[in-house]
Amino acid sequence: MLFLLCSTTVFAVAKEKKTSLSNRDSSKTIIIAEAACGECQFKMPGSGCDLAVRIEGVSYFVDGTDIDAHGDAHENDGFCNAIRTVNVQGIVKNGRFAATYFQLQPTKPAGKMLEEK
């Protein structure tokens, strides 16, 4: 029983490390891109909900992280319902974006306006 619990925990931690991509490489350029569900928001061909980025107007499905690693895709600000700004690092390879770093930008609070003083 203990072995099963430990192996499940190790697998979960390994998957989180693989999909969160929070280790930025300071020697590489950060790309500011749009991210969303490729099928729901970018109208890319496919079935299901898959993470995609749009860089300079071109959309690519993402390898290295997935849509579920960044919150609930079906929330109001989730990838299936909103296009979000992200900072990424990686390369386009075989028509897909191979991400090595993927960081969501915070969303702006709705309905709040700052008054000038």
pLDDT tier at 115, thresholds 50, 70, 90: low
Residue 116 tokens read as 């000038």
| Within-domain flag for 50 | yes
Domain span at residue 46 reads: 28-104
- CATH of residue 87: 2.40.50
| Within-domain flag for 56 | yes
Can you tell me the distance from the alpha carbon of 91 to that of 82, in angstroms, rounded to the nearest whole number?
24
Q: Which residue has the tokens 């998957």?
A: 15
Residue 81 tokens read as 């319902």
Please give the pLDDT value at position 111.
59
| Within-domain flag for 3 | no
Kindly state the percentage of the chain with pLDDT values over 90: 66
| Within-domain flag for 116 | no
Can you tell me the distance from the alpha carbon of 12 to that of 31, in angstroms, rounded to the nearest whole number?
29
| Within-domain flag for 10 | no
| Within-domain flag for 111 | no
Please answer whether residues 102 and 19 qualify as being in contact, where contact means their C-beta atoms are separated by less than 8 angstroms. Answer: no
Dihedral (C-alpha) 87, 38, 98, 64: value to the nearest 10 degrees? Answer: 90
Backbone angles phi, psi at 65, to 5 degrees: -155, 165
Model pTM?
0.74
Residue 72 tokens read as 């609930």
Say yes or no to pLDDT of 112 above 60.
no
| Within-domain flag for 13 | no
Q: Can you tell me the mean pLDDT for 21-45?
A: 94
| Within-domain flag for 96 | yes
Number of structural domains (the chain) is 1
